[in-house]
Amino acid sequence: MEASKSKPAMKRTVLIALAIVIALVVVGLGAGYVFLTQNKSGGGGSNGSGAGPAAVNLRSAGDFVILAKTGVSTTGTTSIVGDVGISPAAATFITGFDLVYTTGSTYATSSLVTGKVYAADYTPPTPTKMTTAVSDMETAYTDAAGRTNPDHTELGAGDVTSMTLAPGLYKWSTGLLVSAAGVTLSGGANDVWIFQIAQNLDVADGAHITLSGGAVASHVFWQVAGQATIGTTAVMNGIILSQTAIVLNTGATLNGSALAQSAVSLDANTVRT
């Protein structure tokens, strides 16, 4: 008899708990702009265990923190941790670095670079190394641009300011803006984000692309058909794959890589993987 009385009570408890969970999810979505993906884009993270699409394989382009085809320039006191490369343009198109090059060497050095600087006209095998790296950069761009079945399309009408974005594939037929309030990418260390941007990427002055929950910059890919511009003192996280130019304005920080199919322009920036 006692057991039969307890069954309705248990049922009411379960229903109340379910209602509370549903209410919390609805409130969270409305207040925090947290977008949950369904991992439609396939493959998981780089080791197959994360949420979101499969990571973009950079191949040898991933050996460079800055890689460009037509020029790399800097003004002010820039600090780069990692290797810098250019091809098919020659070393004369790397400006502002006061390169130190010894005839016959395969690379140069600079007080602004904790790493090596490579150019297409340096001693072999550097020319082949750089041709391969640029080809791999272009392949990686094509890979990122060609991903299908996006989790979100035209999100925020091209303005994701103040949103919190879960791992996934995001696609815009326009440019993408992140204003000063920034945007947060929330996920784990194995999760992957790919942003397909058909025009320009503009990260406003002072804006932060924030990683939370253990997310890592090496699993965030910004595929930009136009120019990527990172504003003054802004903080950018991720791998920028630009079909044209990448511009870092005064004091901006990039945690990741700048891989441009034209030029990379710097102004007293910090760039590191």
The tens digit of pLDDT for each residue in 233-266 reads: 999 999 999 999 999 999 999 999 999 999 999 9
Mean pLDDT for the chain overall = 88
Is 74 in the same domain as 130? Answer: yes
Q: For residue 39, is it within any domain?
A: no
Q: For residue 44, is it within any domain?
A: no
Domain that holds residue 27: 2-32
Q: For residue 107, is it within any domain?
A: yes
Average pLDDT over residues 62-69: 98
Position 48 confidence tier, pLDDT thresholds 50, 70, 90: low
Is 22 in the same domain as 117? Answer: no
Position 163 confidence tier, pLDDT thresholds 50, 70, 90: very high
Average pLDDT over residues 193-220: 98
Stated pTM of the model: 0.84
Is 104 in the same domain as 192? Answer: yes
Alpha helices in the chain (DSSP H): 2-32, 126-146
Q: For residue 38, is it within any domain?
A: no
Is 97 in the same domain as 16? Answer: no
Is 9 in the same domain as 135? Answer: no
DSSP state of 112: T
Judged against a pLDDT cut of 50, whether residue 218 lies above it is answered with yes
User: Considering its fold, how many domains does the chain have in total?
Assistant: 2
pLDDT at 247: 98
The number of angstroms, rounded, from the C-alpha of 261 to the middle of its chain's C-alpha atoms is 16
Q: For residue 262, is it within any domain?
A: yes
Residue 208 · residue 191 · CB < 8 Å: no
Judged against a pLDDT cut of 90, whether residue 146 lies above it is answered with yes
Q: For residue 240, is it within any domain?
A: yes
d(CA 20, CA 13): 11
Is 106 in the same domain as 221? Answer: yes
Give the residue, 155 or 20, on which the prediction is more confident: 155
For residue 153, count CB atoms less than 10 angstroms from its CB and return exposed for 0-12, middle for 13-18, buried for 19 or more. Answer: exposed
For a pLDDT cut of 90, what percent of the chain falls above it?
82
Tokens 């549903």: give the residue.
22
β-pairing, 108-110 with 113-119?
antiparallel
Is 27 in the same domain as 64? Answer: no
Is 66 in the same domain as 20? Answer: no
Is 103 in the same domain as 206? Answer: yes
Q: For residue 197, is it within any domain?
A: yes
